[in-house]
A and B are shown apart, each in its own frame.
Chain A
Amino acid sequence: MEILTNPKIDWLGKRWIFLGISAFLMVGALVSLMTKGLNLGVDFTGGTLVYLKFKEEPVLDQVRDALNDAGIEAEEVTRFDEPSTNQVQVRMARIATEATQDLSLESNKVFEALKARFDAQVPEGKVDLNNLTRSALANELQQADPEKLREKMSVSDFARHYTELADRIVDLRTAQRGVIRDLSELKSAGVADEVIKSLEERFYLGSFTIISVESVGPKVGQELQTRARNAVLFSLLGMLIYIAFRFRPIYGVAGVIALFHDVFITVGLFSLTGKEISLNVIAALLTLVGFSINDTIVIFDRVRENLRSVRRADLATIINLSVNQTLNRTILTSGMTFLAVFALYMFGGEVLNGFSFALVVGIIVGCYSTLAIASPVVFWWQTYSERRKKAAKTVTA
């Protein structure tokens, strides 16, 4: 199948249009970065994220109220993932003193505050099955002995029996993303009806649980920022040097300019949409850098080859020819990687969302910059330096 047979597009002739589009996008990104800034995740700012899973549809205002009443300053209380999952994300700023050492404490405070609000009327003496650890549940079960086995079994068999039951219950809870809504669900973990009945006397189902906590101190945040920046800068530099060495210095510069263009516009879009920049997004930006430089080198390689084989043609013709010759490949590669990444964006869920968003945007921008940015830069530089050489010759003459 042919996508385009023998295209003859004058890419360099349209360079002013491309430049205009790029300038527009870059200025847009810059304005957004300057006015809205970036929504840096706790990885970089320091702070605490608590992810909660509720049994029923949570009312965010109630969550905010409960936190407020307990004196917890939550920066953000938002829904997380699809609404049907009943998940909530609470973000708290990091108090930037060395004295606030106990990072684990903050999620505990959130837990206590919400517990007081959402599970206020709990029958005395009952234990929250949605917030028991494996070993604690095994202990509770042994004490409750819902299957009345104490007399019938040896001590070790008894302990083993209830540890296995606890495992089954916790595995079921995990499979249901952290909460059990009704004790009758335990049937699917192979718990008999009578046993469920007697479990009801001892356990209740708390209305929420903490599924995940991320707490980053200010010092680590700073360090992660510096390290991520250094990693990106040095890898850009490394690529520049390699391309400069394999081709010509200007090709390296042009490639890196195209990369910068792609990353800048993508980051700008993150700023515009207010999406959070986490360490995973950085990994996505790096992936984008990889794809983008790949595209550019393919064209440069072709230019180099054509410079050798096609005699008596000026640089503009050769660049146009090279871009056109590789056009099918550029479109196909970008198209296929786009398919893969788009699937990730659609089905990957919230955790992968920022990551795949960066790639979806990046591949489109990267494909465009390969065609529109990298080669004009080379073209401009070559014509500019030739003119200078000529000028120098006229002066010496």
Chain B
Amino acid sequence: MKKNLKYRMLVVLAVVGVSIYLFVPPSQKINLGLDLKGGIHLVLQVMLRDALLAEAEQVRGRIDRELRDKEVAFAESRTVDKPESPEIEILGVPPEAQDAVEVQLREYSSSWTYQRRYGEGQVDYVLQMIPAVRKYLAQQTVNQARETISNRVDQYGVAEPTITVYGSGDVQDQIIVELPGVDDPNRVINLIRSTARLELRLVHPEKSSEFSSRESAAQAFGGMIPPDYEVLPYRDINETGGQTMYMVVRKAPSVTGRHLKNARRSQDSFTGRSEVSFFLNTEGVALFTRTTEQNVGNRLAIVLDDEIRSAPVIESRIASDSARITGQFTPEQAEDLALILRSGALPARITILENRVVGPSLGMDSIRRGILASLAGAGLVILAMLIVYRLSGANAIICLAINVVILLGVLGYFRATLTLPGIAGVILTIGMAVDANILIFERIKEELRLGKTVRSAVDAGFTRVFTTILDTNLTTLIAALFLFQFGTGPIRGFAVTLAVGLIANVFAATFVSRTIFDWYLQKREVTKLSI
């Protein structure tokens, strides 16, 4: 018995020691949630349709070109945006060209299936993306977006950001971004959500001037913009006087952001205005050189996120690797744009589903109040325990302290984040810990009333109550597990602290408390227990 007790005391000390080691210093080991520390919490939705549509458009372009190269007859091809997944249509194929078209389409059969639609004297083909391919593409898009965003956040310089992919559908298409301590939400949100799709596109060679509206642009082509071209807005403080004009540019870009090597803020040597210079990689330079060579006299539009930023005339073949984006930038804006371009374009647009900005002062206030309230609560409970149970109450308080220490240790080990609901979990744990002690003490009292000796009353108290403690804690633990499984952020935080606390509780209430009692009883002949 004596030896056994020594071992048990060692176990208690070891557990306490390891726990303390795990959470000291708390400022480094335990993260405070955004609701306590202040910062930005964003839930972003990746618009997967964008990426799927872009893919479809690319495949359509390829098929179109291949059919034309082989001189297969068909009327037109187009991409149709459907809510589920985009479709490609090859329209007006005469019967004699059917075989040739189908041979071509079969090239894409690993990701696109086709169906025929018979009309009068001609066949239309409808291509649909295979669901598995769509899912793969979608997930890839989300991952790429996550990558890009974390790139941008890193470059902006946020300490300990968390960026996680999340969602409940068959494709997880949401991204949760948590940025502690950031105090300029507008700037960061802009930085994250800018698509930053940079393209160099040729302006229509014959009608290369600016139009005042989309309608007048269409009129210049007799009401129908050629299928390979589209109308984009154009705003430039120097050229258009800040008014929005429109230009007709090719749909297919000559050079894209993928050919970008670097981007940085620079200054116009004449006006001193901030602008952004970007640099092309080898492939980009080759494309750029060829484009300028073949299109001398044309205009080349620099397009950022479907808006023309400038459209200089190509004077001669340019073999340079750099170009500039001008506009009315503040130095900060130019800096941000360069950063975004460096980190690459987002593969799809992003919508903000949820946006929480907790100011540092509010978070600090919550902590201050929370600590004050917890101390007051703990003080009251300690006082009450000492009044009701006297010396045994002190035992319960030690157990309570050990319980909290273990809880903090486990949280520290997992680098868990403590949020307001998490603190609720701690409170429930403390409540259950107090309860476990009360259960045991009341039982011991009962046994004493039955006339048992102190030692056997303590023995009986612990043994009898053990199943009760196990049952209550296990039931709550089951609830905690379900909450973790089905809950979202804050509810999960609650579930985690609760689950850990409950396990610590069973250990503290049955093992630690018992050890203290045994230690107290073996040293002296106790005839009256202070309880």
The reply on A203 being an interface residue by CB < 8 A is no
The reply to whether A340 and B377 form a contact with Cβ atoms under 8 Å apart is yes
Which one of A2, A217, A339, A359 lies within 8 Å of B352 (CB-CB)? A217
A348 to chain B: closest CB distance in Å?
4
CA distance A107 to B438 in the complex (A): 50
Q: B154 on the interface (CB 8 Å rule)?
A: no
A124 within 8 A of B: no
Contact of B361 among A178, A340, A356 (CB under 8 A): A178
Q: Assess whether B313 is interfacial by the CB under 8 Å rule.
A: no
Smallest Cβ-Cβ distance to B389: which chain A residue: A1
Contact A231 B487 (CB under 8 A): yes
B361–A301 touching, CB < 8 Å: no
B420 at the interface (CB under 8 A from A): yes
B365 at interface by CB-CB < 8 Å: yes
A108 to chain B, nearest CB (A): 7
Question: Of A283, A332, A342, which is within 8 A of B442 by CB?
Answer: A332
Interface of A is mostly: helix
Which of B351, B446, B449, B479 gathers most chain A CB within 10 Å?
B479
A347 with B488: CB separation less than 8 A: no
In the complex, the answer to whether A352 meets B487 with C-beta atoms within 8 Å is no
Is B486 among interface residues, defined by CB-CB distance under 8 A? Answer: yes
Q: Which of B362, B384, B425 contacts A336 (CB 8 A)?
A: B384
B211 CB, nearest partner CB in chain A, Å: 26
Which residue from A1, A219, A239 sits with its C-beta under 8 Å from B475?
A: A239
User: In whole angstroms, what is the CA distance A3 to B485 when docked?
Assistant: 41
Q: Quick check: is B218 within 8 A (CB to CB) of the other chain?
A: no
B312 interface hit (Cβ, 8 Å): no
Q: Min CB distance, B165 to chain A, in Å?
A: 15
Tell me the bound Cα distance from A282 to B420 in angstroms.
12
Q: Which of these, A213, A298, A348, A352, contacts B439 with CB under 8 Å?
A: A298
**B498 close to A220 (CB less than 8 A):** no
Per the 8 Å Cβ criterion, residues 484-515 of B in contact with A are 485-488, 490-491, 494, 498
A348 CA / B420 CA spacing, docked (Å): 11
Write the nearest CB–CB distance from A315 to chain B, whole angstroms.
20
Given contacts A231-B491, A287-B428, contact A349 B366 (CB under 8 A): yes
- Kindly identify, within residues 25 to 81 of chain B, every residue whose CB is under 8 Å from any CB belonging to chain A: 35, 43, 45
Residues of A within 8 A of B365 (CB): 177, 349, 351
Q: Are A297 and B471 in contact (CB under 8 A)?
A: yes
B364 on interface, CB distance cutoff 8 Å: yes
Q: Is A243 an interface residue (CB 8 A)?
A: yes
Residues 467-491 of B, flagged 1 when their CB comes within 8 A of A and 0 if not, give 1100110111011111101111011
A223-B468 in contact given A133-B183, A286-B479, A355-B420 (Cβ < 8 Å): no
CA–CA, A136 and B331, complex, Å = 12
Contact in complex: A341, B427 (CB < 8 Å):
yes
- When the two chains form their complex, are residues B494 and A211 in contact, meaning their CB atoms are under 8 A apart? no
Residues of B within 8 A of A149 (CB): none
Task: Decide yes or no whether A39 CB sits under 8 A from chain B.
Answer: no
What is the chain B residue whose CB lies nearest that of A228?
Answer: B491
Q: Which of B106-114, B130-138, B199-207, B367-375 contacts A (4 or more CB under 8 A)?
A: B367-375
- Interface residues in A82-119 (C-beta closer than 8 Å to B): 98, 101-104, 107-108
Q: Check A7 for interface membership: any CB of B closer than 8 A.
A: no
Most buried by A among B358, B373, B445: B373
Check if A13 is an interface residue, CB within 8 A of chain B.
no
Indicate if A216 sits at the interface (CB-CB under 8 A): yes
Cβ of A317 within 8 Å of any chain B Cβ, yes or no, is: no
B353:A279 contact, CB within 8 angstroms: no
| Size bracket of the A interface | 35 or more
Contact of A283 among B380, B421, B485 (CB under 8 A): B421
A243 touches B475 (CB 8 A): yes
A238/B354 in contact, CB under 8 A: no
**Which stretch from B88-96, B184-192, B225-233, B242-250 is at the chain A interface?**
B184-192
Contacts of A336 in B (CB 8 A): 380-381, 384-385, 431, 434, 438
Total CB contacts across the A-B interface at under 8 A? 256
Instruction: Tell me which of B358, B420, B431 contacts A280 (CB under 8 A).
Output: B420
B485: chain A residues within 8 A (beta carbon)? 231, 234
Interface residues of A in 127-184 (CB under 8 A from B): 133-136, 170, 173-178
Cβ–Cβ < 8 Å partners of A290 in chain B: 428, 432, 476, 479, 498
Is A210 part of the contact surface with B, judged by Cβ < 8 Å? Answer: yes
Chain A residues closer than 8 Å to B358, beta-carbon distance = 212
Contact of A238 with B479 in the complex, beta carbons under 8 Å: yes
Query: Are B376 and A347 in contact, CB atoms less than 8 angstroms apart?
Result: yes
B431 lies within 8 A of A340 (CB)? yes
Contact yes or no, A340 B378, CB < 8 A: yes
Shortest Cβ distance from A49 into B: residue: B356
User: Which one of A1, A235, A294 contacts B478 once the chains associate, using CB atoms below 8 Å?
Assistant: A235
Q: How far is the CB of B453 from chain A (nearest CB, A)?
A: 20
**A215 on the interface (CB 8 Å rule)?**
yes
Tell me the nearest residue of chain A to B479, going by C-beta.
A235
CA–CA, A336 and B475, complex, Å: 21
B406-443 CB mask vs A (1 if < 8 Å, else 0) is: 00000000000000110011011011101100110010
Are the CB atoms of A213 and B362 closer together than 8 Å?
Answer: no
Contact B490 A283 (CB under 8 A): yes
- In the complex the two chains form, what is the Cα distance from A322 to B133 in whole Å? 64
The residue of chain A having its C-beta at the shortest distance from the C-beta of B474 within the complex is A242
Known A-B contacts A215-B355, A343-B376, A352-B373; A337 and B478 likewise in contact (beta carbons under 8 Å):
no
B269 within 8 A of A: no
A228-B489 Cα distance, complex, nearest whole Å? 11
Contacts of A211 in B (CB 8 A): 359, 361-362
How far in angstroms is the closest Cβ of chain A from B432?
6
Say how far A2's CB is from chain B's closest CB, in angstroms.
Answer: 8
Known: A234-B486, A239-B479. A333 touches B355 (CB 8 A): no
- Contact yes or no, A103 B354, CB < 8 A: yes
Is there an interface contact between A348 and B369, defined as CB atoms closer than 8 Å?
yes
Contacts of A170-219 to chain B: CB distance below 8 A: 170, 173-178, 209-217, 219
- The answer to whether B431 touches A352 (Cβ under 8 A) is no
Distance in Å from the Cβ of B457 to the closest Cβ of chain A? Answer: 15
Question: Which stretch of A14-22, A323-331, A382-390 is in the interface?
Answer: A323-331
CB under 8 Å from chain B, chain A span 285-303: 286-287, 289-291, 293-294, 297-298, 301-302
User: Among B364, B378, B435, B483, which residue has its beta carbon within 8 angstroms of that of A286?
Assistant: B483
Q: Is the CB of A174 within 8 A of B360?
A: yes
Q: Does A246 contact B (CB under 8 A)?
A: yes
- Pick the residue among B168, B351, B481 that contacts A101 (CB under 8 A): B351
Chain B min CB distance to A147 (Å): 24
* Beta-carbon contact of B421 and A227 below 8 Å: no
Q: Give 5 CB contacts A-B under 8 Å.
A: A3-B388, A215-B355, A280-B421, A284-B424, A344-B373
Known: A6-B449, A340-B427. 15 other contacts (CB 8 A): A101-B352, A177-B365, A210-B359, A216-B355, A219-B353, A220-B353, A223-B168, A286-B424, A293-B475, A293-B479, A298-B439, A348-B370, A351-B362, A351-B369, A352-B420
What 10 A-B pairs have minimum CB-CB distances, sorted nearest first? Answer: A340-B377, A283-B421, A349-B369, A343-B377, A211-B359, A235-B479, A235-B482, A343-B376, A337-B431, A231-B486
